[in-house]
Amino acid sequence: MDEAAPGLFGTAFTADPYPAYAWLRTNAPVHKTVLPSGVSAWLVTRYADARRALADPRLSKDPRRHRAAEHASGRVGIPGERRANVMTHLLNIDPPDHTRLRRLVSQAFTPRRVAAFEPRVRELADRLVDGFAERGSADLIDEFAFPLPIYAICDMLGVPAEDQDDFRHWAGMMLHTAGKRGGVGRAVKRMRAYLGELIHRKREDLGDDLISGLIRASDDGEQLSEEEAAAMAFILLFAGFETTVNLIGNGMLSLLRNPAELARLRGAVAAGDEALLASAAEELLRFDGPVELATWRFATEPLTLGGERVATGDPVLVVLAAADRDPERFAAPDTLDLGRADNPHLGYGHGIHYCLGAPLARAEARTALATLLGRLPDIRLAADPGELRWRGGLIMRGLRALPVEFGPR
C-alpha cells in the first residue's frame, strides 16, 4: 500500500497535508506507515473510525504498552518527557489512575477560574498589539501568538511575573528546536525542575492560583503528591502552549486567505456578534487546527479498525486533521464557513482525554480574533502563502512566522 500512497511527512506535505489525507481517507482509511522516527504506526483518517478509536478503551495511552517499548523509548510519547521524568501525566495514563488525576485537576481548573481569567487574557492581547500597532507590520507568531498563551498560562498557574520571561525562553527553545528532540528535552527538563521548586515554595504559602489549587485538591482525603502536581502543571503548560500558538497562527492564516470570511468576522467583531465569534473559533479549529494527530495510543489486544487487523502493542495515531475534513461527516469540508452550524469537529479530541483546557483555549481564541480584527481592521498577509514556512512535529502543525501588514494606528 505504501508505494501507491502519497508522500507523507515531507516539506510539501507539511505545507498542505490535506490532499494526502483525502487520498488516505478514500484508499487506505486505516493505514500502516513508517514514521520519520522509524517507528511504524497505524494512521486513522475517517471521521467515524477516528471518533470510535478516540473513545475505545482497548487503545491505551501508556507508552509501555508499545510492542517494543524498550526499543522505542523516547520515540513514542511526548518529546522530552522521558528525559524530564514526566511520564505520569493525563495523556500517558489509563483509568483508574486517569480518572482520579483528571478529577483532581478538574477541581483546580474550573470554568469559574477560566471565566474570571478572561479579562486578563484581553489585557495581555491588547498589550501585545500595543507593541506593534504603530509599526504597520508584524510577525503575528513571534509578537502575538507565541507570547499570549505563555503569559496567560503562567499567570494562571501562579508563576511570579519576574520568572515568566524564563518560561518564554524555554518555550521558545521548545518551538524553535521542534523536531530536534535534544533541544526540546533540555527545555522540558528546565521547566519541570522550575515547577517542582515552585510547588515546593507554594506549599508554604498557598494563593488563589492554579498550582495552589492543585496542591489543595484532594479526593477522599488523598492529595496529589508533589511529583504528580509538578507533572500536572507541566502537562497544562505543554498541552496549552503550542496548541494555542498554532490555533491563532493557522486560524489567522485561514482568514487572511479567505477575504470574504475575514470581512464577515470583522463585521461581527465590530457589531459585538459573540455568536459568530464563537462559531468562527470552532470552524477555524476544524478547518486547519493545531493538533494534526491525536497523541499516541497502543492496542492492548488484537482489534479490527476500519477493516484492518491491529495487533497487540501496535501504535495507533488518529489523524484529527483528516477526520475533520471528511465529506462523510461535514458538508463542503474544504470550505471555510465561519457560521457552520453542524460542526462536531474532533479538534479538541473526544472521549475521556477530551481537552481539559478547551474552555481556556476557546477564550484565548475568541479574544485573539476580536483583538486583532478590532484593532487592525485592514490586516493583510505580507508574504506569498506559498513561501510561508511550517513547523511540522508529528503531533502539531503550525507556522514558523506569519508576516502581516496593516495601516499604522
Q: Which residues bind ligand HEM (CB under 6 A)?
A: 54, 90-91, 102, 153, 235-236, 239-240, 243-244, 247, 285, 289-291, 294-295, 347-349, 353, 355-357, 360-361
Q: Which is nearer to ligand HEM, 251 or 406 (CB)?
A: 251
Separation CA 283–CA 92 (nearest Å): 28
Closest CA to 371 of 114, 124, 117, 149: 124
Smallest separation (angstroms) from ligand HEM to the CB of 399: 15
Radius of gyration of the chain (CA): 21
Q: Which is nearer to ligand HEM, 138 or 396 (CB)?
A: 396
- Residues in a beta bridge with 381: 404
Smallest separation (angstroms) from ligand HEM to the CB of 136: 28
Residue nearest to ligand HEM (CB): 357
Smallest separation (angstroms) from ligand HEM to the CB of 30: 17
* Cell numbers representing residue 391 in the block: 513547523
Smallest separation (angstroms) from ligand HEM to the CB of 22: 21
Q: Which is nearer to ligand HEM, 284 or 406 (CB)?
A: 284
Smallest separation (angstroms) from ligand HEM to the CB of 354: 6
Smallest separation (angstroms) from ligand HEM to the CB of 257: 20
Closest CA to 370 of 244, 242, 276: 276
Q: Which is nearer to ligand HEM, 41 or 406 (CB)?
A: 41
Smallest separation (angstroms) from ligand HEM to the CB of 204: 25
Say which amino acid occupies 356.
L
Q: Residues with Cβ < 8 Å from 250, sequence gap 6 or more?
A: 284, 288, 289, 290, 397, 398, 399
Q: What is the DSSP letter of 342?
A: -
* Cell numbers representing residue 1 in the block: 500500500
Helices (H), 325-388: 358-375
Contact between 15 and 390 (Cβ < 8 Å): yes
Bridge-based pairing of strands 315-318 and 40-44 is parallel
Closest CA to 86 of 214, 249, 204, 238: 238
Q: Which is nearer to ligand HEM, 287 or 348 (CB)?
A: 348
Q: Which is nearer to ligand HEM, 381 or 396 (CB)?
A: 396
Closest CA to 292 of 3, 13, 94, 2: 13
Separation CA 125–CA 167 (nearest Å): 18
DSSP, collapsed to helix, strand or coil, labels residue 31 as: strand
Q: Which is nearer to ligand HEM, 29 or 249 (CB)?
A: 249
Q: Which is nearer to ligand HEM, 136 or 351 (CB)?
A: 351
Smallest separation (angstroms) from ligand HEM to the CB of 187: 17
Greatest C-alpha distance within the chain: 61
Smallest separation (angstroms) from ligand HEM to the CB of 44: 12
Q: Which is nearer to ligand HEM, 51 or 202 (CB)?
A: 51
Closest CA to 315 of 5, 67, 1, 54: 67
Contact between 387 and 400 (Cβ < 8 Å): no
